[in-house]
Structure 1
Amino acid sequence: MPLCGGYPRAVFSPQGPSLRELCVQALSSVERGYDLLAPKFDHTPFRTPQSILAATTEALSELGPFGEGLDVCCGTGAGMLVLGPLCEGRVTGVDFSAGMLARARDAHPEAAWVRADARALAFVEDFDLAVTFGALGHFLPAERPALFEGVYRALRPDGLFAFPLGAPPPLTSLAHWTTLGFDLAMRVRNVVRRPPFVMYYRITPLSAIRDDLTAAGFSVDVVGLTALGQLANGSPRYGLVLARKPADAY
């Protein structure tokens, strides 16, 4: 989910939401906000770009094929473009926004769709591959353990949880100050208005994500998604986090 700094007309298509609609969404809860945005979500820059989906699919294809697949916080179903080619069994999306699920169901009727809170997944060893795209910023650090423990339970032994994670932008870059400003604005919004809208870009550093995944029982590796470009220092702009449930887990 790329950051949209401001509301440039060149980024939002005519089919996308108006500025007023985005403001109403931002002043709602996360669930209500995404219900409101769902009909136009695929016409915003918040939808995971095809380039990230394609790079993820290519990287995971070297580790598959897989059996059953799960998209955690599936939104309108973009992750099915990854799970579909990689999974030989059924694919399932889970989200707590009824509006998002309705759009996903229309776009991918062949998949199964479940409305649930990702912090309290009820699946037990049902899947071989789980993915998520652009959702981690919706979980406060204290909520990540429940999320990761639920995904761990949902996977079969030797199952894989995979998701792309962008490198932090350089301190001197416009992206750094834009994300910092966005997060500060969201924190102020959540102090003065309830219910909160949790969406932060700076609470998911790789070191913290790795620690939380390891605490949940995963072994963790990261591979560079080189097709998505490099930073000035030569490191990849995006990495693919690969969290593996041990084959002897019980």
Structure 2
Amino acid sequence: MFTSQGPTVRELAVQALSSVERGYDLLSPKFDQTPFRTPDRMLDAVEETLAQREGSFEAGLDVCCGTGAGLGMLRRLCRGRVTGVDLSAGMLAQAARAHPEERVDLVRADARALPAKLADSYDLAVSFGAFGHFLPAERPALFAGVHAALRPGGLFAFPIGAPIPPASPVWWAVAGFDAAMRVRNAVWRPPFVMYYRTFPLGDVRADLLAAGFAVETAPLDHFGRRGDGTPRWRLLLARKPGPGVPRRPPVRQHEPA
């Protein structure tokens, strides 16, 4: 499916009837041949925006790193070691093959309970495409763990899309997918948590503030703007208070959410 090297419909069905961890273990050898991998265009946009606004960092953390699509970006942004964390051993195995570099560490862990050894270790944390796997009630634990992993002044950055208008066919597609997943999880165990509409900016901002972050956003103008002038994608920047390390001043203004 998707490409000749990608998973078949049967393989995707087996994944969907598994747990999140087992499903990604099964999908991992072919994951990068699916549209689920974070596009290079998004990675490049985030990297450029962070480099322009912040300069470089010392150590970096990729939360739910999957097969390691974001680790190359982190290595370029960070002078020191970078770490990828994921629950799936299969995805981490693929990441290890893609990034054999000595200064890349891979840790198998649940992002809702990051290991204590990661505390106060990073200046930058990122995450791409994983937040649909966390129910709203799980976000506080997720954000608290990232907050603890960052040094004072450290930054948690991730892209977040504008709301999809109900008139768009995409809205109906993702609404239908979420509804199907809710039915699946109501009648089948183990659950496979993956929803597209459970991560709205307002609620996410509130949970980040409650976790102790200072929050702002920057437009990712690489993806254009909607008819009302608002960006199609923003980079959410959640900073752990503290002196941190000296940063270069921003080169462009952030926009209010």
TM-score by length of 1: 0.94
Question: Aligned partner of 1:179: which letter?
Answer: V
Alignment match, 1:68:
59
- In structure 1, which of residues 216, 232, 241 is the aligned counterpart of residue 227 of structure 2? 232
- Please tell me whether residue 91 in structure 1 is matched to residue 82 in structure 2: yes
The reply on whether 1:32 has 2:22 as its aligned counterpart is yes
In 1: Cα distance, 2:170 partner to 2:70 partner? 25
Say which SS state the counterpart of residue 45 (structure 1) adopts. Answer: coil
What SS does structure 1 have at the residue aligned with 2:37? coil
1:157 paired residue number: 152
> Residue 153 and residue 47 in structure 1: after superposition, are their counterparts in 2 closer, same or farther (change >3 A)?
same
Whole-angstrom CA distance in 1 between matches of 2:231 and 2:35: 21
The Cα of 1:82 is off from its aligned counterpart by: 1.7
Quick one: which amino acid aligns to residue 148 of structure 1?
Answer: F
Structure 2 match to 1:180: 175
Structure 2 residue aligned with 1:167: 162
CA distance in 1, matches of 2:212, 2:31: 34
Distance of 1:248 and 1:184 partners within structure 2: 45
Tell me the distance in 2 between the aligned counterparts of 1:146 and 1:169: 27
1:248 Cα deviation from its structure 2 partner: 5.4
* CA distance, structure 1, for counterparts of residue 206 and residue 67 of structure 2: 29
Counterpart of 2:13 in structure 1 is 23
The within-5 A match list for 1:68-147 is 68-110=59-101, 111-122=104-115, 123-147=118-142
For residues 175 and 72 of structure 2, what CA distance do their matches in structure 1 show? Answer: 31
**What 5-or-longer segments of structure 1 have no aligned partner?**
1-8
| Residues paired across the two proteins, number | 239
- Which amino acid in 2 is paired with 1:21? E
TM-score computed with the length of structure 2 as normaliser: 0.91
Q: Which residue is 1:3 aligned to?
A: none
- What's the counterpart of residue 4 of structure 1? none
Other structure's SS at 1:40 match: helix
1:1-51 per-position Cα deviation (integer Å, ceiling 9, x unaligned): xxxxxxxx6xx1110000000010011000000000000000000000011
> Cα RMSD over matched residues?
1.0
CA drift at 1:99: 0.1
Name the stretch that deviates more: 195-204 or 223-232.
Answer: 223-232
Could you tell me which of 199, 207, 213 is aligned with 1:212? 207
225-234 or 94-103, which deviates more: 225-234
Provide the C-alpha distance between the structure 2 equivalents of 1:124 and 1:48, rounded to a whole number of angstroms.
26
Q: Distance in 2 between matches of 1:233 and 1:61?
A: 28
> Which residue matches 1:56?
46
* DSSP 3-state at the match of 1:247: coil
Q: Read off the aligned partner of 2:67 and give its amino acid letter.
A: T
| Identity of matched residues, % | 64
Tell me the distance in 2 between the aligned counterparts of 1:232 and 1:178.
21
8 Å Cα contact 1:51/1:228 also seen in 2: no
Local SS of the residue matching 1:71: strand
2:34 aligned to 8, 33, 44, which one?
Answer: 44
Q: Which amino acid aligns with 2:65?
A: C
Look up the SS of the partner of 2:194 in the other structure.
coil
| Structure 2 counterpart of 1:197 | 192
